[in-house]
C-alpha cells in the first residue's frame, strides 16, 4: 500500500467516487479464480497472495484513467471479471492492484445490424437474459455462464455448449472497445468485414488482459429459435461416433449441440438412462427455424444409422440439457486433502484427434483414479476433446497440488506430441504459459512479446500471463 500512495492519491483526485476496496476480506475475495491450485491454497490457508487493493470503475473512461495512472506510477494491475478462470490467469503474486470490471454494465441492441453491445462486466447469463426479453439470443452458454463476464470470455476466446452452430467468442464478437495501457480507448470498426490490415479485435481476443482491458463487447445476435430438439444415440465405439460427426459436419450440417462421450465416461450416463452398456454416447441438439431443425435432424439420423448408431429419442438429450452446468464431481475431488481434478481441453485436426484422445488418456491413467473423455466442440477441419482427470494420493493439499502439476504437464505434452494443441478455450494464464513456444514456435512467441513490449513497455498488466 505505502509504495502506491501517490497512485491512490491521484486516483482519488481524478476519479472522485471510484470504489477502492482495502479490507483484507475484500482483497481475499478477489485473490483467486477457480484454478485447482488456487483452491488448494484456500484450503491450506493462510492465502499466500493478496492484491494491494481492488478498484471498481463505473465506465470505460475510468478504466482508461486507471491504466494511464498505473503507467505513470509504475503500479502493476490485474483485470478481474467473474473469477471463473481455471488456469491461474489472475494471481496477484506481487500484490498487484485488481481492476474489477463488473460495474461496466451498459447494454444496447442494434436491431437492424443484428448485434448487441454489452459492458464487459455483464455475465453471460445477464447478457443472454437481456437479449431474451427482446426476442434474441447470442447462443453462448459456457459452463461458467452464471459467473463469467463478457470481457473475460473475450480475453480467453471462450466457448459454450451450443458452439457447433454459434461458434467460439471469436466467431461471435463483431467489435470491441478496449482500454489500452496508456489510457487510450480503442474502438474497433463495426463493419462486418474489411481489407485494411490485420484484424485489430483479434489482438485482444485470447490476449487474457496482457494488452489492455476489454470494456465493451459488440456481439452478433439471432432471433430466438422457433424450435429446439434434443436426442441421443449410442455407438459401438468412440471411433464410429467421431466418424458420424465428421461426415455430417463435412456436409455443412452444424447442430448447435454435439457431444460425444467415450465408452468410459458414458458408462454411468448409460446406466442412469437405461441404455445398453459398453457403448459411446452421442447427444445432439438442434435449434432454429422449424424446417431447418427437421432437415438437420433427418440428415444426422441417416448418417448416424449408416455408422451403426442406435437411436434413443429425446430423453437422453433433455437429461443432458437439464444437468449441463454441474461441476460437482471435480470439486468433490479437490475438497479432499490428497485429491485433485481438472478438465484439460485441447483441439486437433480430424486426422490427429483420435490419437490425441487415446494417448492423453493412456498417459494419465497411471496417475489417476479416473480419466473421462468427451468431444464437445466440432469444426469442419477437426474437433476438441476434454480429458477430465480425477487423481488422489496420500498426503495433504500441498501434495495434491504437486500431483495436479504432474498431471497437467503430462497431459499437455502428450497432446502436443500427438498433434494437438495447448488449450482450446480455457486459455493459458500462468498454468500453461511454459508450453506456448511448443505450439507457436519461438517466432510466434516473439510476435506476442513484441506486441506486449510496444503496448505495455513497463510490463504492468497481468504480468506472467501468456508467459509475457
Tens of pLDDT, residue by residue over 250-273, are 999 999 999 999 999 999 999 999
Q: Which CATH code fits 107-223?
A: 3.30.465.10
Q: What is the pLDDT of residue 332?
A: 85
What does the pLDDT look like over 277-294, one tens digit per residue?
999 999 999 999 999 999
- Residue 97 near residue 118, CB atoms below 8 Å: no
> Does the structural domain 227-323 have CATH classification 3.30.70.3450?
yes
Q: pLDDT per residue over 349-382, tens digit each?
A: 999 999 999 999 999 999 999 999 999 999 999 9
Per residue in 88-118, pLDDT tens? 999 999 999 999 999 999 999 999 999 999 9
Nearest residue to 216 (alpha-carbon basis) of 111, 127, 142, 91: 127
Work out the mean pLDDT of the chain and round it to a whole number.
96
DSSP 238: H
C-alpha–C-alpha distance, residues 24 and 47, integer Å:
11
Select from 160, 144, 87 the least CA-distant residue to 376.
160
pLDDT for 417 equals 98
The CA distances from residue 334 to 38, 46, 331, 365, 420, in Å, are 11, 18, 5, 18, 27
- Tell me the pLDDT band of 1, cut-offs 50, 70 and 90: very low
> What is the tens place of the pLDDT at every residue in 112-162?
999 999 999 999 999 999 999 999 999 999 989 899 999 999 999 999 999
Percent share of the chain, pLDDT over 90? 95
Q: Does domain 2-102 fall into CATH 2.60.40.1220?
A: no
Instruction: Inform me whether the pLDDT recorded for 329 exceeds 90.
Output: no
Is the pLDDT at 459 greater than 50? The verdict is yes
Gap between the Cα atoms of 309 and 306, Å rounded: 7
Strand ranges for 46-105 from DSSP E:
54-56, 77-80, 97-100
Contact 169, 205 (CB under 8 A): yes
Question: Measured between alpha carbons, how far is residue 276 from residues 268, 279, 370 in Å?
Answer: 11, 7, 21
Task: Quote the Cα angle for 218-220-225, to 5°.
Answer: 140
pLDDT score recorded for residue 334:
87
**Could you tell me where the DSSP H helices lie in 346-396?**
350-364
Greater confidence, 230 or 328? Answer: 230
Give the number of other CB atoms < 10 A from CB of residue 392.
Answer: 17
pLDDT band at 3 (very low <50, low <70, confident <90, very high): low
Contacts of 407 (CB under 8 A, 6+ apart): 340, 342, 364, 367, 368, 389, 391
* CATH T-level topology, domain 328-437: GMP Synthetase; Chain A, domain 3 (3.30.300)
The answer to whether 177 and 118 have CB atoms below 8 angstroms apart is no
Percent of residues, the chain, with pLDDT higher than 70:
99
pLDDT for residue 394 is more than 70: yes
Of 329, 14, 68, which Cα lies nearest the Cα of 181?
Answer: 68
Over 60: is that where the pLDDT of 198 sits?
yes
* Cis amide linkage into residue 455, ω under 30° from 0: no
Distance CA 357, CA 382 (A): 13
For the stretch 158-186, pLDDT in tens is 999 999 999 999 999 999 999 999 999 99
Nearest to 103 by CA among 116, 115, 128, 120: 120
> Where exactly are the structural domains of the chain?
2-102, 107-223, 227-323, 328-437
pLDDT at 225 over 50: yes
Tell me the whole-structure pTM to 2 decimals: 0.95
3-state helix, strand, coil in the chain (%, to 5): 40, 25, 35
> What DSSP line would sit under 249-309, residue for residue?
HHTT---SEEEEE-HHHHHHHHHHHTPPSSSEEEEEEEEESHHHHHHHHHHHHHHHHHTT-
With residue 233 as reference, give the H or E element that holds it: strand 227-235
- Cα separation, 429 vs 37, whole angstroms: 13
Check residue 2 and give its pLDDT: 46
Amino acid at each position: 500500500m505505502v509504495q502506491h500512495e501517490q497512485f491512490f492519491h491521484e486516483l482519488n483526485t481524478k476519479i472522485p467516487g471510484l470504489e477502492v476496496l482495502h479490507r483484507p476480506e475484500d482483497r481475499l475475495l478477489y485473490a483467486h479464480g477457480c484454478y485447482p491450485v488456487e483452491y488448494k491454497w484456500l484450503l491450506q490457508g493462510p492465502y499466500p497472495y493478496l492484491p494491494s487493493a481492488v478498484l471498481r470503475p463505473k465506465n470505460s473512461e475510468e478504466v482508461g484513467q486507471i491504466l494511464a495512472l498505473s503507467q505513470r506510477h509504475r503500479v502493476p494491475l490485474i483485470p478481474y471479471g467473474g473469477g471463473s478462470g481455471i488456469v491461474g490467469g489472475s494471481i496477484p503474486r506481487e500484490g498487484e492492484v485488481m481492476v474489477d470490471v463488473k460495474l461496466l454494465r451498459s447494454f444496447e441492441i442494434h436491431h437492424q445490424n443484428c448485434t448487441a453491445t454489452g459492458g464487459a462486466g455483464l455475465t453471460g447469463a445477464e447478457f443472454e437474459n437481456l437479449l431474451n426479453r427482446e426476442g434474441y439470443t447470442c447462443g453462448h452458454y459456457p459452463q461458467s455462464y452464471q459467473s463469467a463476464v463478457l470481457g473475460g470470455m473475450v480475453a480467453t476466446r471462450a466457448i459454450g455448449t451450443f458452439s457447433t452452430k454459434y461458434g467460439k467468442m471469436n466467431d461471435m464478437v463483431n467489435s470491441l472497445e478496449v482500454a489500452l495501457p496508456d489510457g487510450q480507448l480503442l474502438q474497433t470498426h463495426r463493419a462486418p468485414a474489411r481489407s485494411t490490415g490485420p484484424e485489430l479485435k483479434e489482438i485482444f481476443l485470447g490476449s487474457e488482459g496482457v494488452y489492455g482491458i476489454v470494456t465493451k463487447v459488440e456481439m452478433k445476435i439471432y432471433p430466438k429459435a422457433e424450435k429446439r430438439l434434443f436426442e441421443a444415440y449410442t455407438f459401438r465405439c468412440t471411433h464410429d461416433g467421431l466418424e458420424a460427426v465428421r461426415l455430417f459436419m463435412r456436409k455443412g450440417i452444424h447442430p448447435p449441440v454435439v457431444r460425444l462421450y467415450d465408452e468410459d465416461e458414458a458408462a454411468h450416463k448409460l446406466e442412469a438412462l437405461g441404455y445398453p452398456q459398453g457403448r459411446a454416447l452421442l447427444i445432439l441438439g438442434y435449434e432454429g427455424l422449424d424446417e431447418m431443425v427437421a432437415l438437420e435432424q433427418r440428415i444426422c439420423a441417416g448418417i448416424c444409422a449408416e455408422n451403426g448408431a442406435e437411436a434413443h429419442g429425446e430423453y437422453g438429450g433433455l437429461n443432458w440439457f437439464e444437468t449441463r452446468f454441474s461441476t460437482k464431481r471435480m470439486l468433490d475431488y479437490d475438497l479432499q486433502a490428497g485429491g485433485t481434478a481438472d478438465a484439460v481441453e485441447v483441439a486437433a485436426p480430424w486426422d490427429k484427434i483420435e490419437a490425441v484422445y487415446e494417448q492423453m488418456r493412456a498417459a494419465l491413467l497411471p496417475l489417476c483414479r479416473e480419466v473421462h473423455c468427451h468431444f464437445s466442440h466440432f469444426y469442419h477441419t477437426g474437433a476438441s476433446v476434454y480429458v477430465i482427470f480425477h487423481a488422489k494420493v496420500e498426503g495433504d493439499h500441498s501434495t495434491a497440488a504437486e500431483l495436479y502439476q504432474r498431471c497437467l504437464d503430462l497431459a499437455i505434452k502428450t497432446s502436443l506430441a500427438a498433434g494437438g494443441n495447448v488449450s482450446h478455450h480455457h486459455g493459458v494464464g500462468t498454468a500453461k504459459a511454459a508450453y506456448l513456444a511448443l505450439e507457436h514456435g519461438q517466432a510466434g512467441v516473439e510476435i506476442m512479446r513484441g506486441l506486449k513490449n510496444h503496448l505495455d513497455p513497463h510490463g504492468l498488466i497481468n504480468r506472467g500471463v501468456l508467459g509475457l
